[in-house]
A = this chain, B = another copy of it.
Amino acid sequence: MDKIDLGSQGFLYPMPMTLVGADLSTGPNFLAAAWVSRCQPNPPRLMAALGKVHATNTGIRERGEFSVCIPSVDQVAVTDWCGLNSASRGADKASPFTLFRGSLEHAPMITECPLCLECRLYQTVDLGTHELFVADIVGTWTEKRFLMPDGKPDLAKLRPFVLTMPDNRYWAVGEHIADAWSVGRRYGASELDPE
């Protein structure tokens, strides 16, 4: 077998880049975060794993509300800037953006981001150095120009990007290769049931 073990620091590929918005005692703030995932369809929930050292964690714990904003490839530099700088060290990480709010009082969102999720904290899980915020999604803010004719968000128009670690690279999303819950039907017919 040609397999080799790189040890325990191998990472998952690829991870969606997001900006997590929260109201801190100093004002709104946005943290660059890639360890974010959906976790339940109904009630619709997502989860974000954030290092306890972040000022954002305190804001989410105190307010019980936050946002997950999806930047486009055009925002890769400012997103990375949000990851390089720290509200704890005095950076105003709301300053590059035009903010808006939905129905929640403490879920600041970014007008320049093509899609933003408004979240209410449901549960906090202590993981060690990090904590996991599990939240109900209460709103999905976007613009008509980012939708497909059927009203669903169109990735080709949103143009999000992904992060890989430990090589620390950002990647655009490429071509549409197949449809989910669909392309596998052909596999079943051709490969597994040749008769």
Contacts and interface: CB of A to CB of B under 8 A. Distances in A.
Given A2-B144, A184-B82, A171 B167 contact: no
A119 to B, nearest CB: 10
Interface residues of A, number: 108
Give how many copies assemble into the complex.
Answer: 2
A8 to B, nearest CB: 5
A78 B43 contact: no
A13 B83 contact: no
A178 B49 contact: no
A40 B49 contact: yes
Contact of A143 (B3, B13, B83): B3
A95 B147 CA distance: 39
A13 B10 contact: no
6 cross-chain pairs, A with B, having the tightest CB-CB distances, nearest first: A10-B140, A80-B184, A174-B174, A81-B184, A39-B49, A77-B187
Interface of A: 1-16, 18, 34-47, 49, 68, 70, 73, 76-85, 95-96, 100, 102, 111, 115, 117, 123, 125, 127-130, 132, 134, 136-145, 148, 151-155, 158, 160-188, 191-192
